[in-house]
Chain A
Amino acid sequence: MRTLKAGGADVVLCASNPLSTQDDVAAGLVAEYGISVFARNGEDNDTYYSHIEAAADHRPQLTMDDGADVIGVLHAKRPEQLSEILAGTEETTTGVIRLKAMEADGTLGFPIVAVNEANTKHLFDNRYGVGQSTLDGIIRATNVLLAGSTFVVGGYGWSGRGLAERARGMGAHVTVVEVDPLRALQAVMDGFNVSTMAEAARHGDIFCTATGDKNVIRREHFGLMKDGAILSNTGHFNVEIEIPALQEMATAVTVVRPMVEQFEMPDGRRLFLLAEGRLVNLAAAEGHPASVMDMSFANQALSAEWAVKNHADLEPKVYVVPTDLDNEVARLKLASMGVEIDSLTAEQEKYLASWDEGT
């Protein structure tokens, strides 16, 4: 927010998720930095959407989304504003999936830069940021010991693989569930157990979904789970676990600790749902460490600048972050860490550009 403001933008902020707001930070942005913030931790759905409407009332020319809810509201309820918007950016895998669907439908009203698709975003934020903060959220919520547990990861995208690697590092036996054969094969060769969710459901102690799709863990799986299984999600929306089915099946629901709901099944088994199935890293911990968000936010800022500069040439499509911006973020991050790298010699450059030199 401070960077956008320094760049001359008149910024309004709303939450991207009802449980992710840090109330003290929100207050600090308002009082110290004079930034309009409409967000309260734990706000109900109506308040959440009224806060998005408050941001939309500002009549933005640039949107910066984390899950595409602002873009969703603008398209669904305020089509007359779409022509005022030069461009938008999107941070998450989940949001990019939604926006590509809108592009395919022909309903997307302005150009989008998919910040998530930058290498310096998803290869770092999703992998190292989600990986670490998700485990942090699960541990803070439950104090569970990962060593020796069976940890089931739904999805082997960059978030899923970051999570799987880190859970293994803490001593868990990790099972990956995938639908994509290439990713499943990568998971196998990375040394993980790979199975269907129906199979994993019988053995898992801790489950975490990281897919961007709905009902990854659903009714048929809840019936198979062990007593005491812990269910969590780190995808952007609370749809990856079929919570309505869990509520229907349960004979009693009790909050047993902050962020932990116990669902008692008719046969006496208890399943524990963390953070209402919302992203556990934001709801039960603090989200990603700032050091990795540095790169994501740098991509956001540079993408906003690029979109404003080039908006006249852009169509209502989903664009990837230009490679030179992406590389610039990596270069600056390395420099900030005091890491120097080599560059190609003239001879090496020539060799790479030629085809006539063999052995």
Chain B
Amino acid sequence: MSTTTPSDVRDLALAPEGVRRIEWADRQMPVLALIRERFAAERPL
């Protein structure tokens, strides 16, 4: 897997597993999801 994002991580090949874990955690974070939706619309940062 290649990326142009500057980074120093162990192994980018681990990404698919990491994405599954991020998505798993995300299912348990409904408040953050609401804030993320609002942020995407309002771009406060």
Chain A residues within CB distance 8 Å of chain B: 2-4, 6-9, 22-32, 34-41, 51, 54, 62, 289-291, 293-295, 297-298, 301-302, 304-305, 308-309, 329, 332-333, 336
Contacts and interface: CB of A to CB of B under 8 A. Distances in A.
Given A4-B45, A24-B18, A54-B6, 20 more contacts: A3-B36, A6-B40, A7-B45, A23-B14, A25-B22, A26-B9, A26-B10, A27-B14, A27-B15, A30-B7, A32-B19, A36-B6, A37-B7, A40-B10, A294-B29, A294-B32, A301-B32, A304-B45, A305-B44, A309-B44
A36 B21 contact: no
A334 B35 CA distance: 15
Contacts of B39: 3-4, 6-8, 301, 305
A301 B44 CA distance: 10
A325 to B, nearest CB: 11
Nearest to A50: B8
- Chain A interface, >50% SS class: helix
Interface string B5-45: 11111111111111101101111111110111101101111
Chain B: interface size category: 35 or more
Contacts of A32: 15, 18-19, 22
A28 B45 contact: no
14 contacts: A24-B14, A24-B15, A26-B7, A26-B10, A26-B14, A27-B12, A29-B22, A31-B15, A36-B6, A38-B9, A291-B28, A294-B30, A298-B31, A305-B45
B10 A28 contact: no
Contact of B18 (A28, A36, A294, A308): A28
B7 to A, nearest CB: 5
A27 B9 contact: yes
B34 A332 contact: yes
B35 A298 contact: yes
Contact of A336 (B10, B31, B44): B31
A228 B13 CA distance: 40
The 3 A-B pairs of least Cβ separation, nearest first, read A28-B18, A7-B39, A24-B18
A302 B14 CA distance: 31
A62 to B, nearest CB: 7
Given A28-B15, A62-B45, A305-B45, A38 B5 contact: no
Contacts of A329: 31
